[in-house]
């Protein structure tokens, strides 16, 4: 680590003003950023904490029936707070990391970071959620732009994510046991106008929609319609844990399990 200033604003307006200063970088739960600082892979002059801003916390429902979750809401709070209304999202949040990670990690931090193996991006993309910032609203299909890349602009702050609640949904992941990240994770969501399937952990470009599976499931929501199906191995991650072909195979397996669970 090294010396830096830590700024703790109490309102969103104060946070926006603090981030306007040169060398400032936001930090929410810090589950990614703090290890990055320890490794000296990033060296901001000042960190602006979003942790103690009441405007960025909490769960409510809007007039459209969407679950609106503040960006600084922890994984543990999401798991407890949406269990009745959106069990699939609660299960996803409750399966992230371990209790220490879930008590500090936040929804907004995960969505802004867009780790290619993170769980929340699958839920955001599969439900067609809306990411709200201090400046605008961005549809999920426009938000994710590749590994660790999003539509978020410099000094822009994620304030909330608005999730449409599907008729049926489930999230299933093949866990990498050391990190608890998804080696492959699949979120399936059925709405009145069709089905969306989002996959995390598998592709080099990060979370993606498996449209071939969506087409089949929109016609008939049954795991058997996906028998023998898998996306192409091209573009899948290959590492010490799994080859691209194995990850592609796992996408098919996890999707069928998610449909059965839903």
**Domain 5-49: assigned CATH number:** 3.30.43.10
- Convert the pLDDT of each residue in 155-192 to its tens digit: 999 999 999 999 999 999 999 888 788 999 999 999 99
Contact 119, 171 (CB under 8 A): yes
Query: pLDDT category, 232, cuts 50, 70, 90?
Result: very high
Quote the pTM value: 0.94
Contact 166, 236 (CB under 8 A): no
CA-CA distance, 256 to 178, in Å (whole number)? 25
CA-CA distance, 79 to 89, in Å (whole number)? 7
Tell me the CATH number of domain 56-163, given options 3.30.465.10, 3.40.50.2300, 3.40.50.670, 3.30.428.10. Answer: 3.30.465.10
Quick one: which of 35, 51, 43, 56 has its CA closest to 5? Answer: 43
Query: Does residue 38 surpass a pLDDT of 80?
Result: no
CA-CA distance, 154 to 8, in Å (whole number)? 19
Domain ranges of the chain: 5-49, 56-163, 168-261
| CATH 1.20.1070.10 is the classification of domain 168-261 | no
């Amino acid at each position: 680590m090294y010396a830096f200033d830590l700024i703790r604003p109490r309102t969103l307006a104060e946070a926006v003003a603090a981030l306007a200063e040169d060398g400032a970088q936001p930090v929410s739960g810090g589950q990614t950023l703090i290890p990055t600082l320890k490794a000296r892979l990033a060296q901001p002059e000042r960190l602006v904490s979003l942790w103690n801003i009441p405007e960025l916390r909490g769960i409510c429902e809007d007039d459209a029936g969407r679950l609106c979750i503040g960006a600084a809401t922890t994984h543990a709070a999401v798991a407890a707070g949406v269990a009745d209304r959106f069990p699939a999202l609660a299960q996803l949040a409750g399966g992230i990391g371990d209790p220490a990670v879930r008590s500090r990690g936040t929804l907004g931090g995960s969505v802004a970071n867009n780790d290619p193996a993170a769980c929340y991006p699958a839920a955001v993309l599969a439900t067609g959620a809306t990411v709200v910032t201090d400046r605008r609203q961005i549809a999920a299909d426009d938000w994710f732009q590749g590994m660790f890349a999003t539509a978020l602009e410099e000094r822009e702050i994620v304030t909330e994510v608005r999730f449409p609640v599907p008729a049926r949904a489930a999230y299933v992941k093949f866990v990498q046991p050391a990190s608890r990240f998804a080696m492959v994770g699949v979120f399936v969501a059925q709405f009145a106008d069709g089905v969306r399937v989002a996959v995390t952990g598998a592709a080099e470009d990060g979370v993606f929609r498996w449209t071939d599976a969506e087409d089949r499931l929109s016609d008939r929501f049954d795991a058997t319609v996906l028998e023998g199906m898998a996306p192409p191995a091209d573009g899948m991650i290959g590492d010490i844990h799994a080859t691209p072909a194995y990850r592609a195979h796992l996408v098919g397996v996890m999707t069928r399990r998610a449909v059965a669970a839903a």
